[in-house]
Structure 1
Amino acid sequence: MDPDRDLDAMDRDQLVAEVKRLRAGIRTHRDSTGHDLCWHHPDLWGLLPERVTPDVAVPPWPKFLRGCLRYREALERELPNAPEADVEYDKDEP
């Protein structure tokens, strides 16, 4: 089954609208910063036409935290001049 079959039925205007919608979602993901970098992004996955519940497997805490550290270290290497967002995570923030 072709997951992109819906595109075949779209006219040019619909395809342009779809591209703009997808680009907006990608930009939102790309522009994530601060603590938002640490989260999975179901809104990004929701841009796809097929509706599935992701089968997320979570590593045990020690392995998960080591992965977080490696991710932060990679950011340090790849974006050494990035400004620092020195704020605590607040789950009540939007």
Structure 2
Amino acid sequence: MHLRHKLGISDFTIYSNRKLSHNYVVIHPTNEFPKGAIVDSWTGQGVVELDFKTRLKFKHREENYSVNANMHEWIERYGQAHVID
């Protein structure tokens, strides 16, 4: 929610990873993150560049994840009201 409604970052995808049994956010490549980045607050990793090592660590492969459309919809519809400064 903070990425979208506080920082104004909208070019990201929320993934549900079956191998890790949790969700994380991937920020698509930008000037700040040329390879993209994974945002994973659940494990305390924070923001990590989406390089080869990180892809392996997160088992970030197409057969392991799916886009979590429900979370994207919820953030767009209700997220603004739940962002705390």
Same fold (TM over 0.5): no
Name the one with the larger helix percent: 1
Q: TM-score, normalised by structure 2?
A: 0.31
Name the one with the larger strand percent: 2
Structure with higher Rg: it is 1
